[in-house]
Structure 1
Amino acid sequence: MNLPWIERLGDWNPQLLRELKGHLKNRNLLIAAGVSLLTQFLLLTYLYEQAHYSIWESLFSTLNWILPLILLLAGVYMLITDLGKEERRGTLNFIRLSPQSSQSILIGKMLGVPIIVYLGVALAVPLHLWTAISAGVPFIFILSFYLLIGAGCCFFYTAALLYAFLGGFQAWAGTFLSFVFAWPLLQILNFAMDLVRSKDFDSTSINIYSLEWFYLPLGSLVLSEGFIMLNFGLWTYWIWQALNRRFSNANATLISKKQSYWITGYFEVLLIGFCLQNNVFNLARTSDYGALSLLTLVFEIINLLWFVGLIAALSPHRQSLQTWARYRRERVSKRRGFWKSDLVQDLIWGEKSPAVVAVAINLGIKTAIWGAWILSWPSNSEKMQAILGLILSLNWILIYAVIVQSLLFMKTDKRSLWASMTVTALIAFPPVFFGLLSMPFYKNPGVWLLTAFPLMAVKEASVITVFMVILGQWSAMTLLSLQLRRQMRLAGVSASKALFAK
Structure 2
Amino acid sequence: MMSQLIDRLGESNPQLFREIKGRLKPRPIAIAAAISILGQLFVYLYYSSLLPTLRSEYNRYCTGTSPSRDYTYYDTLGFCVKDLFGNPMIMKELWWLDVFTFLSVVGILVMLVVGTYMLISDLSREEQRGTLNFIRLSPQTAKNIFIGKVLGVPILLYGVALLAMPFHLLAGLSAHIPLSLILGFYGVLIASCVLFYNAALLFGLISGALGGFQAWLGSGTVLLFLSLMTGMVMSNSFLSDSPFDWLALFYPGTILAYLVNSTFLPPHTVGYFNLEHLNDLLWYGLPLWNKATSGIGFMLLNMAWWTYWITQALKRRFHNPLATVLSKSQSYWITGSYVVILVGFVLQTTESYRLFDSFVALQIFLTAFFLLLIGALSPHRQALQDWARYRHQMGSNKRSLAKDLIFGDKSPSLAAIDLNVCIVALYLTPVILLSPLEDKTLPTLAGLWLGLSMILIYALVAQRMLLMKSSKRFIAAAAMLGTLIVLPIVGLGFLGIEPTKMAWPWLFSVLPTVATEYATATSILFSLLGQWLTITVLSFQMTRQLRLAGESQTKALLAH
- TM bucket (normalised to shorter chain) is over 0.9
Larger Rg: 2
What is the CA-CA distance between 1:298 and the residue it aligns to? 0.5
Question: Which of 354, 357, 366 is the aligned partner of 1:294?
Answer: 357
Residue 385 (structure 1) aligned with residue 443 (structure 2): yes
C-alpha distance in 1 between matches for 2:362 and 2:97: 39
Q: 1:187 to 1:129 in 2, by over 3 A?
A: closer
For residues 490 and 335 of structure 2, the distance between their equivalents in structure 1, rounded to whole angstroms, comes to 29
Q: Is the 8 A contact 1:6 1:20 kept in 2?
A: no
Distance 1:177 1:357 in 2: 32
TM-superposed deviation, 1:333: 3.4
- Identify the residue that residue 139 of structure 2 maps to in structure 1: 99
Corresponding residue of 1:88: 128
Partner of 1:38: 38
1:325 to 372, 380, 388: 388
> Which range is displaced more, 311-320 or 93-102?
93-102
Note the residue ranges of structure 1 that are not aligned, 5 or more in a row: 201-205, 336-340
Of 519, 526, 539, the residue aligned with 1:481 is 539
Asked if structure 2 preserves the Cα contact closer than 8 Å seen for 1:252 and 1:316, the reply is yes
Cα deviation, residue 441, structure 1: 1.7
Note if 1:155 corresponds to 2:195.
Answer: yes
> Which segment drifts farther, 210-219 or 293-302?
210-219
Structure 2 alignment gaps of length 5 or more = 53-89, 230-247, 267-274
Match of residue 255 from structure 1? 326
**Counterpart pick for 1:490 among 543, 548, 556:** 548
Q: What does residue 286 of structure 2 align with?
A: 216
TM-score, normalised to structure 2's length? 0.83
Mapped partners of 2:51, 2:192: distance in 1 = 32
Partner residue in 2 for 1:178:
222
- SS of the aligned residue for 1:457 comes to helix
Match of 2:258 among 189, 192, 198: 192
* Structure 1 residue 8: Cα displacement: 2.5
The residue aligned with 2:79 is: none
State the Cα deviation string for residues 87-107 of structure 1 (Å, max 9, x = none).
Answer: 111211121111211111111
Q: Which stretch of the first structure deviates more once superposed, 471-480 or 264-273? A: 471-480
Matched, 1:430 2:488: yes
Instruction: Please state whether the residue corresponding to 1:461 is helix, strand or coil.
Output: coil
Q: 1:37-63: per-residue Cα shift (whole Å, max 9, x none)?
A: 111111111111212643422221211
Alignment of 1:50-61 (within 5 A): 50-51=50-51, 53=90, 54=92, 55-61=95-101
Partner residue of 1:14? 14
* Cα distance change on mapping 1:160 and 1:451 into 2, 3 Å: same
Q: How does 1:425-464 map to 2 (within 5 A)?
A: 425-464=483-522
Query: How far is the alpha carbon of 1:215 from its aligned partner?
Result: 1.9
> Do the aligned residues in 1 keep the contact of 2:356 with 2:437 (CA within 8 Å)?
no
Correspondent of 2:162 among 115, 118, 122: 122
Measured after TM superposition, the shift of residue 176 of structure 1 is 2.2
**1:274 is paired with a residue of what secondary structure?**
helix
**Superimposed CA distance per residue, residues 273-314 of structure 1 (whole angstroms, 9 cap, x where no aligned partner):** 12334xxx22xxx4xx32222111010011100011111111
Distance across 1 between alignment mates of 2:481 and 2:188: 36
With over 3 angstroms needed to count, the CA separation of the structure-2 counterparts of 1:47 and 1:377, relative to structure 1, is: closer
What letter is aligned with 2:318? F
Amino acid in the other structure paired with 1:171: A
Deviations 1:150-173 (A, max 9, x none): 000000000000011011552122
For the residue of structure 1 that corresponds to 2:508, the secondary structure is coil
SS at match of 2:140: coil
Aligned to 1:338: none
Q: 1:397 to 1:164 in 2, by over 3 A?
A: same
Native 8 Å contact 1:347 1:357 kept in 2: yes
Deviations 1:295-347 (A, max 9, x none): 11010011100011111111111111111111111222335xxxxx1111111
Structure 1 residues 378, 193: closer, same or farther in 2, change over 3 A? closer
Instruction: Give the corresponding residue for 1:312.
Output: 375
Contact persistence 1:257–1:358 (CA under 8 A): yes
**Equivalent pairs, count:** 483
SS at match of 2:313: helix
Q: Structure 1, residues 464-486: CA drift from partner, whole Å, max 9, x if none?
A: 11111111111111111111111
**Counterpart-to-counterpart distance in 2, 1:385 and 1:63:** 48
In 1, the alpha carbon distance for the partners of 2:380 and 2:335 equals 22
1:78 is matched by which residue type in structure 2?
M
Contact kept? 2:182, 2:259, Cα under 8 Å: no
Q: For residues 189 and 386 of structure 1, what CA distance do their matches in structure 2 show?
A: 34
**Cα distance in 2 for residues equivalent to 1:356 and 1:380:** 35
Partner residue in 1 for 2:27: 27
Residues 253 and 313, structure 1, Cα contact 8 Å, conserved in 2: yes
Q: How far is the alpha carbon of 1:113 from its aligned partner?
A: 0.5
TM-score, normalised by the number of residues in structure 1: 0.93
